[in-house]
Structure 1
Amino acid sequence: MARKKGRDISGWLIVDKPAGVTSTAVVGKVRWALDAKKAGHAGTLDPDATGLLAVALGEATKTVPFITDALKCYDFTVRWGAETTTDDAAGAVVRTSDRRPAPDQLAHALGGFIGDIMQVPPAFSAVKVDGERAYDLAREGARPELAARPLWVETLEVTGMTADTSDLRMICGKGGYVRSIARDLGRVLGCLGHVETLRRVWSGPFDVGDGVSFDQLDRDNAATLERHLLPIQSGLGDLPEMRATEEGAIRLRNGNPGQVIGSADFGTEVWVSAQGRALAVGRYMGGLVHPSRVFVLGGSA
Structure 2
Amino acid sequence: MSAPPLSGRKARRAIDGVLLLDKPLGLSSNQALQKAKWLLRARKAGHAGTLDPAATGLLVICLGEATKLAGLGLEQDKTYEAQVELGVATDTGDAEGEVIRRDPFRGSDADIEHALASLRGGIQQVPPMHSALKREGQPLYVYARAGETVERTARAVFIHELTCLVRQGDRLRLRVACSKGTYIRVLAEQIGAALGCPAHLAGLRRTRAGPLGIEQAVTLEHLEALAEEARPGCLLSPEMLVLSMPHMNLTAAAEAALRQGQAVPAPAAASGDWRLHGPSGRLVALAEARDGRFHPRRILLNPTENLDLCLEEQDDSQIQ
Q: TM-score scaled by structure 2?
A: 0.87
Residue 287 of structure 1 deviates from its aligned partner by 6.8
- The aligned counterpart of 1:198 is 204
CA distance in 1, matches of 2:91, 2:292: 55
Give the CA deviation at 1:26: 1.2
| Aligned twin of 1:125 | 131
TM-align CA RMSD: 2.1
SS at match of 1:296: strand
2: CA distance, partners of 1:48 / 1:189: 25
Contact 2:239–2:304, Cα closer than 8 Å, also in 1: no
User: What is the letter of the counterpart of residue 275 of structure 2?
Assistant: W
Q: Does 1:270 align with 2:274?
A: yes
Name the aligned partner's letter for residue 256 of structure 2. I
Aligned to 2:5: none
User: What secondary structure does 1:227 align onto?
Assistant: helix
Compared with structure 1, are the counterparts of its residues 7 and 190 closer, same or farther at alpha carbon in structure 2 (3 Å cutoff)?
same
Decide whether aligned partners of structure 1 residues 20 and 101 sit closer, same or farther in structure 2, where only a CA change above 3 A counts: farther
Cα distance in 2, alignment partners of residues 147 and 69 from structure 1 = 20
Alpha-carbon distance in 1 for matches of 2:155, 2:303: 41
* Equivalent-residue separation in structure 1 for 2:202 and 2:174 (angstroms): 11
CA positional deviation for 1:159:
0.5
Structure 1 window deviating more from structure 2 (118-127 vs 216-225): it is 216-225
Whether contact under 8 Å (1:77, 1:197) holds in the other structure is: yes
Question: Which residue of the partner structure matches residue 18 of structure 1?
Answer: 24
Contact 1:281 1:293 in 2 (8 A): yes
Residue 309 (structure 2) aligns with: none
AA matched with 2:25: A
Match of 1:52 in 2: 58
- Residue identity matched to 1:280: A
Tell me by how many angstroms 1:108 deviates.
Answer: 0.5
Which of the residues 76, 90, 93 maps onto 1:84?
90
Asked if 1:290 is matched to 2:309, the reply is: no
- Whole-Å separation in 2 of the counterparts to 1:29 and 1:249: 36
Asked if 1:248 corresponds to 2:282, the answer is no
**Are the equivalent residues in 2 in contact too, given 1:9–1:300 (CA < 8 A)?**
no
Q: Which amino acid aligns with 1:144?
A: V
Q: Name the CA distance, whole Å, in 1 between partners of 2:154 and 2:291.
A: 41
In the other structure, the counterpart of 1:61 is: 67
Alignment correspondent of 2:42: 36
SS in 2 for 1:153: strand
Partner SS for 2:224: helix
Check the 8 A contact 2:88/2:103 in 1, yes or no: yes
Pairwise CA distance, 1:264: 6.8
Query: What is the match of residue 232 of structure 1?
Result: 238
SS in 2 for 1:272: strand
Deviation for aligned residue 1:228? 1.7
Partner letter of residue 159 of structure 2?
V
State the structure with bigger RCO (CA 8 A, min sep 6), 1 or 2: 1
Three-state SS of the structure 2 residue aligned to 1:212 is: coil
Q: Using the TM superposition, give the Cα deviation of residue 5 of structure 1 relative to its aligned residue in structure 2, in angstroms.
A: 7.2
Q: CA deviation at 1:239?
A: 1.1
TM-score relative to the length of structure 1: 0.92
Q: Distance in 2 between matches of 1:32 and 1:100?
A: 50
**How many angstroms does 1:217 deviate by?**
3.3
Instruction: Mark the CA change 1:300 to 1:280 in structure 2 (over 3 Å): closer, same or farther.
Output: closer
**For 1:265, what is the secondary structure of its paired residue?**
coil
Q: What residue in structure 1 maps to residue 317 of structure 2? A: none
Matched, 1:8 2:14: yes
TM-fit CA distance, 1:258: 3.9
Asked if the contact 1:83/1:192 (under 8 Å) is kept, the reply is yes
Per the TM alignment, residue 111 of structure 1 is displaced from its structure 2 partner at its CA by: 1.9
Task: Work out the number of aligned pairs and report it.
Answer: 297
Against the structure 1 CA distance between its residues 5 and 288, is the aligned structure 2 distance closer, same or farther, given a 3 Å change threshold?
A: farther
8 Å CA contact retained: 1:244, 1:258: no
Q: In the TM superposition, what is the alpha-carbon distance from 1:71 to its structure 2 partner?
A: 1.2
CA–CA separation in structure 2 for the residues paired with 1:178 and 1:8:
36
Task: Write the deviation string for residues 237-288 of structure 1: whole angstroms up to 9, x where unpaired.
Answer: 121111111112222223223457xx57233321111223210011235775
